Amino acid sequence: MKKKKVLFLCTGNSARSQMAEALLRDMAGERFEVFSAGLEPKGVHPFTILVLRELDIKTGIMYSKNLDEFLERTDFAYLITVCSDAQENCPATVLAGAQRLHWGFEDPAVIKGSQEEALEKFREVRDLIKVRVEGWGE
């Protein structure tokens, strides 16, 4: 059985799309080939790596990617936006053959407060994404 390709897209590809990519790869890697990208990549946030490692999710291959890397591809089954900015600003022609879904999550990287408060927000968003990934099926 050929794996279906999934691309998670957000603005910075620093937190939400990275978490979704890592979680889906961990949970259903035998069914999906998973990628993530950003409209304006900012690098992977250190708390993203930390909260994924708390769940023993592999993070060694994570890096921030630009959507441009995937524009010529026609083999994606799904394009899943995880922020409203990406949903609104990703042209309809991008990955035109892919089924588009939107899973909106708050951006933990913009939370103001102490490091512990910020880390807690990353955990909260990670857990929401995990529930969504677990409940998603073919």
Domain borders along the chain are: 4-135
Architecture label for domain 4-135? 3-Layer(aba) Sandwich (3.40)
Asked whether 136 and 80 are in contact (CB, 8 A), the reply is no
Closest C-alpha among 83, 22, 81 to residue 53: 22
Helix (H) or strand (E) holding 53: helix 46-53
Q: Calculate the average pLDDT of the chain.
A: 92
The β-bridge relationship of strands 4-10 and 76-81 is: parallel
Question: What is the reported pLDDT for 100?
Answer: 93
Q: Of 83, 94, 109, 133, which is the active-site residue?
A: 83
137 pLDDT more than 80:
no
Whether 90 is a known active-site residue: answer yes
Asked whether 18 and 131 are in contact (CB, 8 A), the reply is no
**What's the mean pLDDT in 70-92?**
88
Q: Of 7, 34, 79, 90, which is the active-site residue?
A: 90
Q: Of 7, 9, 10, 23, which is the active-site residue?
A: 10
**What's the mean pLDDT in 16-41?**
94
pLDDT band at 119 (very low <50, low <70, confident <90, very high): very high
DSSP-based three-state secondary structure for 10: strand
Q: What percent of the chain has pLDDT over 90?
A: 72
Whether 85 is a known active-site residue: answer no
Question: What is the reported pLDDT for 138?
Answer: 52
83 pLDDT more than 60:
yes
The DSSP letter of residue 66 is B
